[in-house]
Structure 1
Amino acid sequence: MKRMLIQGVVGAMLLCFMTAGWSAAAVLDDLTAALKAGKADVGVLTSFEYKNRDDATSPAKQLSIRTRIGYQTGEFHHVRLYAQFHNLTNAWEEFRHADGGDSDRDLIADPDGNRLYKAYFDYSALPQTTVRLGRQEIILDDARLLGNIGWRLNGQSFDAVTVTNKSITDLTLFAGYVNQVNTIALTHVDLDHFYLINANYAGIKNHHVSVYGYLLDTESKADSARDSATYGVRIVGKPCIVNYAVDYTLQTDFADGEDHDADMLNLYVGATVAPVDFGVGYSYISGQDGDDRPFDTLYSTAHKFNGFADLFLSTNGGGLTPGLQDYYARIGTSFFGVKLSVIYHYFDSYEDDHFDGTYGDEVDVVVVKSISDNLKLLVKYANFMQDEDEGNGFANPAVDTEILTARLEYSF
């Protein structure tokens, strides 16, 4: 279907040129001019990661080099083309991943390989509207439900057609149709349908309000299918020195999936008193409650939330059966061009049918230094400490975990 759609659009464009009286030479001249007016981009990321879980496996060690090379054409009759090639090479691969690796070592989700990470065209003839067709990143709101998983080295993109419209003042309307997800494991997930609707209103001073609905229909026809309908609202504000964010999301049945009756709530309030910004937050994600399945955070950038030790990534796919309550506090500052953030998390479960206790707590430290306009250094450390008390007779599903990551990124 995707190939037929692309062929149909290209054919329609050629037909328009012919009926409008364009000669082949004129079209070729315009195309040549668009290619010459294009712009290339290059990104090279060197990454070292050390991961140690307190279990039977040995620590994981990784040294990788990721290269991305892209090119965007100039405008050709309201059309711009963009393509980006991606390569990941693991120079030091002492870790387990989805494609193999060392089975006795901890998991790092970065198999090496090549891929066409992005390949799309933008059509902008309609007023204040961009239609994008092809392989693309989709990042909506804070990426809590739809994102590019930008922390992992391979990233996540979607084969989709999306429409973004800004014809109404202060209102951005987004609609999308996805039929394939290109995962961080360099695999592909085919979907029957994945419909995306997101409306963001910025007409209230220093505030943004988003409402959204995401309808997922996988290829599975079983009652246990991941198929679901996800609806929510998000409000972000920054009055004076205070900033806050609140979102609530409800998940119900859709297509073939059954027993979806779950929800998620995120709250954050902070303030900035230069050079320090700080805040506290709470995240609630429902788990398995009787026949009702856990909340599924869909295709989110899960690493961004609930601790950088990545103990709760199974929220993507609805695999966190005990549910989650995350109480956290953060503080950040800048000095001599260095950005420093420290975050503390206290993780508690929610459902008592599987584990009724405290998972543990975690300390995260992030240091970012821009060495030049094109070169950036990042160091991130995460230390999760398991609570040793059993909950309601169930063993704690989380274990002590340390992760240290250092990255040097060059881009132009």
Structure 2
Amino acid sequence: MRVIPPGPSGAYRPRNFKDGTTPMQALRIHWLALALLAASAPAAAGDAAGKGGAILDLRYRFEHVTQDNALDDADAHTLRTRVGYRTGAWNGWSALVEADDVRRLGGRYNDTRNGRTGHSVVADPEGTAINQALLHFGGERVAATVGRQRINLDNQRFVGGVGWRQNEQTYDGVMLQLTPTKKLSATYAWLGRVNTVFGPDDGPRANAVNRADSEGDSHLLNLRYAISPRMVATGYHYRLDLDDLAVTAGAPMDSLSSATTGLRLAGTFERLDYAAEFARQDALHGNPWDLDSHYHLVELGIRLGKARLAAGEELLGGAGGPGNRAFQTPLGTRHKFQGWADMFVTTPADGVQDRYAGAVVPVAGGSLQAWYHDFSAERGSASYGTELDVSYARGIPGVPGLDALLKYARHDADRTSPTVDTEKFWLQVQYTY
């Protein structure tokens, strides 16, 4: 297995930012922000006790992408700085405001906005934006959040924040959470706008697939019921009105608007854990295509000491007719599923069947993961290839809140696959205060 060394070639010199700031100056600015906010340590300690406080998160990442196509390799050095403040609660009410800034510190890559279309994509555009700005009420059985907020439902397969990318996906809307009994909970959310990972600005190179935001009238309903201590059932119905987005750049607008209804069963039994899920997806009003596809997941895991081994199958169905009418998850945290190389962010027209197995093992004070995927089409007999994913994460000794991550993905495409051979390598250091 070939591992790419972290860093561009010695012949490359990173350019200055658009405002003339050099990468080293940018680093000084961000670390100055760290020093200033460190002075508010008592406030941060109060936050842990529910009294509010400052928010600071710095995440540096190097990402390398090599693909077996005409594109040049991508090398991206980026830094995300997140600052904000959460108030203490007053009669159940609290507020939060949080801003994100993503900067390019060096490298050559296509961030979907910078015009480097001859390089592979690393979808982390530069920019500064409000990540969250919300008013929250938390009661014993009722909670409500109004404003721009983070929403992660269940395992984030259908609705999530895509936290892996430097610019998080957040939502403008209202979320209500009811807990009438200890066993039953209900979540309803109305979304007026989706702020995607491609923001904060569109620019001349945005298209119907990578818009910075999408306005609409979407509704999310999620019901959870604890059948027993060993089984939880979750039913959901998500109506996504995404009339300014499309499945592919050449597809008609509104082709991602859909209604998805499903049921998930998950739980544990002694050392075993399991999950089984089924969903159907139909077209929502305004979608020019008649959607009718399905989804299923079956996974079984076992814990051996502190290690976990698991295997499963996830299927996103294809559909007949012109265009790509396969099962799509446009609001999901898709990086968590079907391999870290992100080959199936858009489900191919013939669908995807992913048979996978892997393990998570504690090693040297950290966590080592390894996963193997075998991909094929859901319709027909085409093979899409295989993928190996490996990562190691651990905290840096002596520095609370500082974590490091090494991560590698290798996708080997079959000749019938819509993907290409791809290798990705990441080195990440993150400080959370």
Give runs of aligned pairs for residues 201-350 of structure 1, distance below 5 A.
Answer: 201-219=225-243, 225-257=255-287, 258-290=289-321, 293-315=325-347, 320-350=348-378
1:328-364 CA deviation, whole Å, 9 max, x = no partner? Answer: 1101211221211110001111224xxx411111110
Structure 2 equivalent of residue 199 of structure 1: 223
Matching residue of 2:384: 359
Structure 2: gaps of 5 or more residues? 1-46, 201-211, 246-251
CA distance in 2 between counterparts of 1:195 and 1:209 reads 20
In structure 2, give the amino acid aligned to 1:346: D
Amino acid in the other structure paired with 1:128 = R
State the Cα distance separating 1:220 from its structure 2 match.
Answer: 5.8
Q: Which has the larger radius of gyration?
A: 1
CA shift in 2, pair 1:266/1:52, >3 Å = same
- For the residues of structure 2 that align with 1:206 and 1:141, how far apart are their CA atoms? 17
Moved more, 109-118 or 126-135: 126-135
Report the residue type matching 2:420 in the other structure. Answer: V
* Alpha carbons 2:276, 2:296 under 8 Å: kept: yes
Deviations 1:251-299 (A, max 9, x none): 1122222411011111110101114311111011112323582112130
CA distance in 2, matches of 1:38, 1:127: 19
User: What's the counterpart of residue 9 of structure 1?
Assistant: none
Counterpart secondary structure, 2:241 = strand
Aligned to 2:32: none
Q: Report the secondary structure of 1:86's partner residue.
A: strand
Q: Map residues 10-409 of structure 1 onto 2, 5 A cutoff.
A: 37-124=51-138, 127-187=140-200, 188-219=212-243, 225-257=255-287, 258-290=289-321, 293-315=325-347, 320-352=348-380, 356-371=381-396, 372-388=399-415, 390=416, 396-409=417-430
2:163, 2:337 → 1: CA distance?
13
CA distance in 2, matches of 1:382, 1:218: 31
Q: Aligned partners of 2:234, 2:314: CA distance in 1, in Å? A: 18
Q: State the Cα RMSD in Å.
A: 2.0
Q: TM-score when scaled to structure 1?
A: 0.84
Output the CA distance in 1 between the equivalents of 2:336 and 2:66.
20
Q: Indicate conservation of the 8 Å contact 2:170/2:194, yes or no.
A: yes
Once the two structures are superposed, what CA deviation does each residue of 1:159-194 show, in whole Å capped at 9, x if it has no partner?
010001113222221000001000111144333310
Deviation (angstroms), 1:234: 0.9
Rounded to whole Å, the distance in 1 between the matches of 2:312 and 2:156 is: 17
Report the counterpart of residue 21 of structure 1 in structure 2: none
Please report how far the alpha carbon of residue 77 of structure 1 lies from its aligned counterpart in structure 2 after TM superposition: 4.1
Letter in 2 for 1:260: L
Identity %: 28
Give the Cα separation in 1 of the matches to 2:123 and 2:432. Answer: 23
Secondary structure, aligned partner of 2:145:
strand
Alignment partners' CA distance in 2, 1:202 and 1:238 = 12
- Asked whether the equivalents of residues 127 and 167 of structure 1 are also in contact (C-alpha less than 8 Å), the reply is no
CA shift digits 1:292-342 (9 cap, x unpaired): 821121300001000011100113xxxx21210111110121122121111
**Partner of 2:335: helix, strand, or coil?**
helix
Given the two structures, how large is their TM-score scaled by the length of structure 2?
A: 0.80
Q: Distance in 2 between matches of 1:245 and 1:357?
A: 27
Instruction: Provide the C-alpha distance between the structure 2 equivalents of 1:276 and 1:143, rounded to a whole number of angstroms.
Output: 23
Tell me which stretches of 4 or more aligned residues in structure 1 moved more than 4 Å. 220-224
Task: State the shift of 1:219 in Å.
Answer: 3.5
The residue aligned with 2:8 is none
**Could you report, residue by residue, the CA deviation over 1:8-46 in whole angstroms, capped at 9, with x for unpaired residues?**
xxxxxxxxxxxxxxxxxxxxxxxxxx9x95311211111
